[in-house]
Each structure stands twice: as structure tokens, then as C-alpha cells.
Structure 1
């Protein structure tokens, strides 16, 4: 199994309640039911307010590197990424477990 973690930081001046952010969150929340490769899916806002904290997180798992690539290439994932690209930056980590 591969764990796929993503941490998002909203760009300066962008707030959680902006319509484009709300739409981006909904797009990511829906992925768990849209992409068959996902064995585990959760995402939500960070609940802490520290200077080094990121704002939003995705924690997911897939079977193997081929499944990870299919997830990354899936149109619904690509749509969500395109939305988030407009108002945030992110870091990822993928590891076997």
C-alpha cells in the first residue's frame, strides 16, 4: 500500500469561505467516491492556528504505484488540482506502508 499525503497552504489574502475555495474543497471531498483506486480517503481543514501549519490536508491510500498514477491522472483529481492551483500551494509525501 502507498500512503499519499498532501498539505495545502492558502495563498496570502485567500480565505476559506471564498466561493472558489469552497468549490475546491467540495471537489476534493467527492474524490473518495469517484476514484476506484482509492482504498482510503479523508480530507479536511487543519484545526490548529500556528505559523508553520498548513491549512488543508488530504490523507489517502492506494494499492501500489500504478494505482497512484491512475489516481493522479483521473479527470476528477485533475479537476480538483486545477481548482486548488488557483489559490494555494502544496507539498506531498508518498510512502509505502
Structure 2
């Protein structure tokens, strides 16, 4: 099993009042129901106020790296990427469980 974790940090001038951020959050909420390779899907806003904190998290569980590869190119996931790319930078980690 692979745990796929992504942390998003808004670009300068973007916050949760921005309609693009709310739209990206809505799309992220739907990814788990749209991408069949995902066994689990979590997402959420950060509640910390620390300067080093990121703004949003998505986390999925997939069978193996081949499933991760399919997830990455899935059209709905690509739609989510386009939305988040416009408003944020992110870091990713894929770990074996």
C-alpha cells in the first residue's frame, strides 16, 4: 500500500476568501469518489496559524505505485491539479505502509 500525501501552500495574495481556493477545495473533496484506484481519501484545511504551516492537505491510499501512476493521470485528478496550480505550490510524499 502507498500513502500519498500532498500539502498545499497558497501563493501570495490567495486565501480562503478567494473563490478559486473554495473551488479547488470543492474539487478536492470529490476526487475520492471520482478516482477508482483510491482506497481512502482525506482532505482538509489547516487550522494552525504557524508561519511554516501549509494551507491544505489531501491524502490518499492506493494499492501500489502503478495505482499511483494511474491516479496521477486520471482526468478528474488532472482537473484538480489545474485548479491548485493556479493558486498554490505544494509538496508531495508517497510512503509504503
Could you say whether these structures have the same fold, taking a TM-score greater than 0.5 normalized by the shorter chain as the test? yes
Find runs of 4+ consecutive structure 1 residues off by over 2 angstroms. none
Identify the residue that residue 12 of structure 2 maps to in structure 1: 12
Please list the CA deviations of residues 29-56 of structure 1 after superposition, one character each: whole Å capped at 9, or x if unmatched.
Answer: 1011111100110001001110110000
Q: Which runs of 5+ in 1 are unaligned?
A: none
Cα distance in 2 for residues equivalent to 1:18 and 1:67? 33
Identify the residue that residue 60 of structure 1 maps to in structure 2: 60
Cα distance in 2 for residues equivalent to 1:27 and 1:17? 16
**Given the two structures, how large is their TM-score scaled by the length of structure 2?**
0.97
1:90 to partner: Cα distance? 0.2
SS at match of 1:86: helix
How many equivalent pairs are there? 97
Cα distance in 2 for residues equivalent to 1:58 and 1:38? 12
